[in-house]
Amino acid sequence: MDPHTHIPTLDDIRNAAARIAPLAHVTPVLRSRSLDALAGCQLHFKCENLQRIGAFKFRGACNAVFSLDMASAARGVVTQSSGNHGAAIALACRLRDIPAHIVVPEDAPLAKVDAMRRHGAHLHRCAPGMTARDATTERVLHEVGGTLIHPFNDARVIAGQGTATLELLAQAPTLDVLITPVSGGGLLSGTAIAGQSLAPGIDVFGAEPEGAADAHDSLLAGERISGRHMHTICDGLRAELGPLTFAILRARVAGILLASDREALAAMRLIFERLKLVVEPSAALALAAVLRHKAQFAGRDVGIILSGGNLDLGKLSFAE
Amino acid sequence: MDPHTHIPTLDDIRNAAARIAPLAHVTPVLRSRSLDALAGCQLHFKCENLQRIGAFKFRGACNAVFSLDMASAARGVVTQSSGNHGAAIALACRLRDIPAHIVVPEDAPLAKVDAMRRHGAHLHRCAPGMTARDATTERVLHEVGGTLIHPFNDARVIAGQGTATLELLAQAPTLDVLITPVSGGGLLSGTAIAGQSLAPGIDVFGAEPEGAADAHDSLLAGERISGRHMHTICDGLRAELGPLTFAILRARVAGILLASDREALAAMRLIFERLKLVVEPSAALALAAVLRHKAQFAGRDVGIILSGGNLDLGKLSFAE
């Protein structure tokens, strides 16, 4: 199986769940009566901000790293990330006691870079933008050897991300809608495969910032758009779909809902205030999308994956 | 039984747990490897910031309100509160469909006053300070009738607060230390009674701000100190012990640990960053106390009750 072209199945996701079970948290699902009243539907928040490294990314990274055979693993792992995927690979490699090399753009958030470092990864800084990231990744791969684990265009990663939905549907069996933020599409792909396999009628939506709407536009156009400049405060949502995630989402997703940065921040404040949870702007975007498109969800049981909670607290302000 | 003099028993706490079970949340216990490493012990955080109204206070208020006989309940409830107890009484009364009258000082945090209002309480504003609060409470009691439910010097309230520890010891049976913030002493009293009844060797500590150290000084002096000016950012910890809570704490508590406002804010940031939880400064004080008195807890299993998560987000800043 080539992990860059294989479309994961429910069995792949179940195997991933078994593989990561000794290492990952089963995260809680929280609810809020006041947010339900505001949204006009029943919201079920899957708290992946409480996952290890503070984001769902640990699921996919852990599954990919622990899928490697002994000989490949010994040569270590290379990846590129401005944030949570890098921290997740760093921790997964530390738990398997193998080296992690992470290509990190200069504009990555401090809190996320600190987390990579804390877990002992080798960092390779590069200029922002996909071109520099890809070139530096090629160079590091050439220099250190090791296996590339792509942040989202990888069947092992997608299967790992899908495990959050296995748990969520066991915790909240009445869901008829699932919404996750979409960036490279790994979480949304895994969510769609797990959700539709277990609950065939369920509707799966992505939520994307207006300033990084490549998934929205790609699905409308029927072809993958790439090379755009992304402009959003949601630092976890600036990647673009890969060939594998595009193919999966095209076949499965009911739609991509847009929301503005201002709406993401307002939703983030609501989550702090009503759920007492620290989430990053990217994680709040799914709630922002529900609040903007309320009519679509009226009275339904909506599962939202709160993707992560890593942000530079020194810069946080809700002052009006 | 006079609720102002009766010392609650384990049976009272078990009855309270049964009474509030249909209405209160069983809150999760969270852990963090990085906080354990920092503290040099195993920390178990009981998330009462995720309780209804965002604080443990709902337990005691709910038990007290639902303990009233039908005739008393119909006349409504009067209390005084600058914050979470008021919101808790407001919600409990709404759930029982009886009127709540709350005496609120002018300097109470906006977020907490909003919560009282949202749950339909009648607010009676007064000047800050215990003298004005007591006088206004007397006047309101005289005007509207109804039953006074004191925020902490009340056996029904103390028994309700103790239910958090019943849950915590079931969730984390290895604990040998319990720490809660102390203000009027209701939470700490309920925690001590429940903890020592179920785990006889357990040590129970209070954590108190340096600028509001009346419980610390009262226990040292062997007599209840009152009438002091309290000066702390921990807005939930400005009350002083009552006769009932003083008697309970004097017999049961291993010590009151002090921490500064600066330490409380640093601990609050750690909880945001590592646990991804929104807590108010008062709730962070117990962690601050553990970090300041590390040697005392080295290697032990420490249960900390995160008392609440209500704060004015518009004023929140971690900027250095």
Domain positions in chain A are 10-55+161-315, 58-148
A193/A8 Cα distance (integer angstroms): 8
pLDDT of residue A128: 84
B181: closest CA of chain A, how far (Å):
19
Nearest by CB: B277 against A118, A276, A313: A276
pLDDT of residue A230: 87
- Computed over every residue of chain B, the mean pLDDT equals 95
B134/B11 Cα distance (integer angstroms): 32
Q: Which stretches of chain A are DSSP H helices?
A: 10-20, 33-39, 57-67, 70-74, 84-96, 110-118, 130-144, 155-171, 186-198, 214-221, 243-252, 261-270, 281-292, 294-297
Q: What digits encode the pLDDT tens for the residues A86-136?
A: 999 999 999 999 999 999 999 888 888 999 999 999 999 999 877 898 899
Q: What digits encode the pLDDT tens for the residues A152-180?
A: 999 999 999 999 999 999 999 999 999 99
Q: Which residue has the higher pLDDT, B317 or A275?
A: A275
A315: closest CA of chain B, how far (Å):
6
* Segment A144-149 mean pLDDT: 94
Whole-prediction pTM: 0.93
Using a CB–CB cut-off of 8 Å, the residues of B that contact A are: 28, 30, 34, 49-50, 54, 111, 118, 269, 272-273, 275-279, 309, 313-320
Q: What digits encode the pLDDT tens for the residues A45-92?
A: 999 999 999 999 999 999 999 999 999 999 999 999 988 999 999 999
Of the residues A31, A276, A310, the best mutation for testing chain B's interface (the one with the most B CB atoms within 10 Å of its CB) is A276
Q: What digits encode the pLDDT tens for the residues A280-314?
A: 999 999 999 999 999 999 999 999 999 999 998 98
- Asked if the B10-55+155-315 domain carries CATH number 3.40.50.1100, the reply is yes
* Segment B28-51 mean pLDDT: 97
pLDDT confidence tier of residue B319, bands split at 50, 70 and 90: confident
pLDDT of residue B178: 98
Token pair of A57, please?
A: 């990314």
pLDDT of residue A147: 95
Q: Does B245 have pLDDT greater than 90?
A: yes
Q: What digits encode the pLDDT tens for the residues B96-120?
A: 999 999 999 998 888 889 999 999 9
Residue B153, amino acid: N
Q: Does B131 have pLDDT greater than 90?
A: no
Chain B residue with minimal CA distance to A306? B276
* Segment A209-228 mean pLDDT: 95
- Computed over every residue of chain A, the mean pLDDT equals 95
| CA distance readout (Å), B180 to A235, B107, B186, B208 | 37, 24, 10, 9
Which H/E stretch holds residue A177? Answer: strand A177-181
pLDDT confidence tier of residue A319, bands split at 50, 70 and 90: confident
A216/A221 Cα distance (integer angstroms): 9
B100: closest CA of chain A, how far (Å):
20
Three-state DSSP class for residue B250:
helix
Same fold, B10-55+155-315 and B58-148: yes
Q: Does B248 have pLDDT greater than 90?
A: yes
* Segment A146-153 mean pLDDT: 95
- Model-level ipTM above the cut of 0.95: no
Q: Does B130 have pLDDT greater than 80?
A: no
Which H/E stretch holds residue A211? Answer: none
Chain B residue with minimal CA distance to A272? B278
Interface contact B276-A317, CB threshold 8 A:
no
Tally: H helices and E strands in chain A:
14, 10
Interface contact A317-B316, CB threshold 8 A:
yes
Interface contact A54-B276, CB threshold 8 A:
yes
Q: What digits encode the pLDDT tens for the residues B64-77?
A: 999 999 999 999 99
pLDDT of residue B179: 98
pLDDT of residue A129: 79
CATH topology of domain A10-55+161-315: Rossmann fold (3.40.50)
E strands, B174-276, in order: 177-181, 203-209, 255-259
CATH topology of domain A58-148: Rossmann fold (3.40.50)
| CA distance readout (Å), B36 to A319, B32, B290, B309 | 33, 6, 11, 22
A219/A58 Cα distance (integer angstroms): 27
Chain B residues with CB-CB distance to A277 below 8 A:
276-278
Q: What digits encode the pLDDT tens for the residues B189-213?
A: 999 999 999 999 999 999 999 999 9
Chain A residue with minimal CA distance to B268? A313
Chain A residue with minimal CA distance to B270? A313
Q: Does B257 have pLDDT greater than 80?
A: yes
Cβ atoms B79, B85 nearer than 8 A: yes
* Segment B6-30 mean pLDDT: 96
Using a CB–CB cut-off of 8 Å, the residues of A that contact B are: 28, 30, 34, 49-50, 54, 111, 118, 269, 272-273, 275-279, 309, 313-320
- The phi and psi torsions of A32 (rounded to 5 degrees) equal -145, 120
pLDDT confidence tier of residue A27, bands split at 50, 70 and 90: very high
pLDDT of residue A252: 97
